[in-house]
């Protein structure tokens, strides 16, 4: 069956791990990419959010990257990937080969601006990168936008008066940008720890602050699937429509050799959170002060859902109600890689589950 290219039955928003996993299983169930379903991605190239990460990040230095479903058919695996190259280059290359092999035909750059109802149809509006707005009329939307486009920075008194640089994880490029500077790193996750390790011999002074004490685990591999309690917390929050809790608060930080070495050197010793920011530094409630030229906010992200606002899915509790991958308010909207699916294994599992539900819904329609 051939469909109008501007009226595909299914639109998948996002071509990262979750979006490509859904696409793989939709194809396995008989849907034709570019015809029965269209994948939109705002990135300039392949790789999802990985293409935008900092240069020093390597495969294996952050949470494990699991293979996409069907990646073995093209003899690729992140377990054997080159760990000397920037992770963003490796992931972008693997995803490019994957998209080509399976003929996913991702439309990019395609920045989705809104999803709304027009009669009984859903309309997905996006900017095509050339200044034109395009509308797709569809029956089902799979939102796989992740979180990278929605960075979170908590507010502290004096933030706007700080004369140094505020840098979020999304803005961090390399350690050399902070050469000779006094840097405060905020956050208790692996990104914050990675920044500290990179900046150790580059910045003139480093201070690490976290909202809660860090639980260092006696495990050597960064794998979110081991945090069953954290996944359960995410699932409970998603079903209740609450804002999603921090993954790190439920999983802790495994002691890789690199991290353990940093602990033993005295580098990875966190102070409690400061209470305010001044023009030239940060101050604690007991009066202690540290000068700072830059504050690196490795404080995480929120789900990127602004484009879904016209559908009014958000609950008073701050999140959207999602169970088994679909919206409880509008069953035509599916969420891949949301909440308990946020790990790369979770995204693959969700891809299979969501694809089956999508095909079943199309059959009913």
Per residue in 97-116, pLDDT tens?
999 999 999 999 999 999 99
pTM to 2 decimals?
Answer: 0.86
- Residue 238 clears pLDDT 60, i.e. is over it: no
Task: Using the predicted structure, report yes or no on whether residue 226 has a pLDDT greater than 60.
Answer: no
| Residue 82: band (very low, low, confident or very high) from pLDDT cuts 50, 70, 90 | very high
What are the DSSP calls for 83-150, one per residue? Answer: SSSBHHHHHHHHHHHHHHHHT---B-S-EEEEEEEETTEEEEEEE-SSS-EEEEEESEEEE---STTS
**What is the band of 94 on the pLDDT scale with cuts at 50, 70, 90?**
very high
What confidence tier does 224 reach under pLDDT thresholds 50, 70, 90?
Answer: very low
Coil, strand or helix at 281? strand
What pLDDT is stored for residue 222 in this prediction?
46
Residue 234, pLDDT above cutoff 60: no
Residues 6+ apart with CB under 8 A from 171: none
Res. 344 pLDDT band, cuts 50 70 90: very low
Residue 48 contacts residue 38 (beta carbons within 8 Å): no
Predicted pLDDT at 302: 86
pLDDT at 75: 96
Domains and CATH numbers, the chain: 10-149+301-364 (3.50.50.60), 159-218+255-297 (3.50.50.60)
């Amino acid at each position: 069956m051939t469909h109008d290219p501007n009226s595909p039955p299914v639109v998948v928003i996002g071509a990262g791990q979750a979006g490509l996993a859904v696409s793989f299983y939709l194809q396995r169930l008989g849907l034709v990419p570019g015809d029965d379903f269209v994948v939109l991605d705002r990135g300039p190239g392949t790789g999802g959010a990985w293409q935008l990460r900092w240069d020093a990040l390597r495969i294996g230095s952050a949470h494990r990257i699991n293979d996409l479903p069907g990646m073995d058919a093209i003899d690729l695996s992140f377990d054997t990937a080159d760990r000397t190259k920037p992770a963003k280059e490796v992931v972008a290359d693997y995803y490019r080969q994957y998209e080509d092999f399976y003929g996913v035909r991702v439309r990019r750059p395609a920045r989705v601006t809104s999803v709304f109802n027009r009669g009984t149809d859903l309309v997905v509006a996006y900017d095509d990168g050339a200044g034109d707005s395009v509308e797709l009329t569809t029956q089902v939307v799979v939102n796989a936008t992740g979180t990278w486009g929605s960075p979170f920075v908590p507010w502290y008194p004096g933030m706007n008066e700080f004369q140094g640089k505020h840098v979020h994880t999304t803005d961090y490029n390399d350690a050399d940008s902070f050469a000779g500077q006094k840097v405060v790193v905020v956050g208790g996750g692996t990104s914050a720890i990675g920044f500290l390790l990179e900046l150790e011999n580059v910045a003139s002074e480093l201070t690490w602050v976290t909202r809660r004490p860090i639980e260092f685990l006696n495990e050597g591999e960064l794998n979110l699937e081991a945090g069953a309690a954290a996944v359960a917390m995410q699932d409970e929050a998603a079903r209740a429509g609450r804002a999603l809790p921090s993954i790190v608060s439920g999983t802790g930080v495994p002691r890789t050799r690199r991290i353990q070495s940093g602990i033993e050197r005295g580098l990875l010793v966190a102070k409690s959170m400061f209470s305010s920011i001044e023009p030239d530094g940060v101050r604690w409630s007991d009066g202690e002060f540290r000068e700072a030229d830059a504050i690196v906010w490795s404080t995480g992200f929120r789900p990127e859902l602004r484009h879904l606002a016209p559908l009014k899915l958000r609950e008073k509790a701050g999140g959207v109600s999602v169970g088994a991958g679909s919206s409880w308010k509008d069953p035509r909207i599916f969420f891949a890689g949301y909440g308990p699916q946020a790990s790369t294994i979770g995204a693959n599992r969700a891809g299979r589950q969501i694809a089956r539900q999508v095909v079943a819904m199309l059959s009913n329609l």
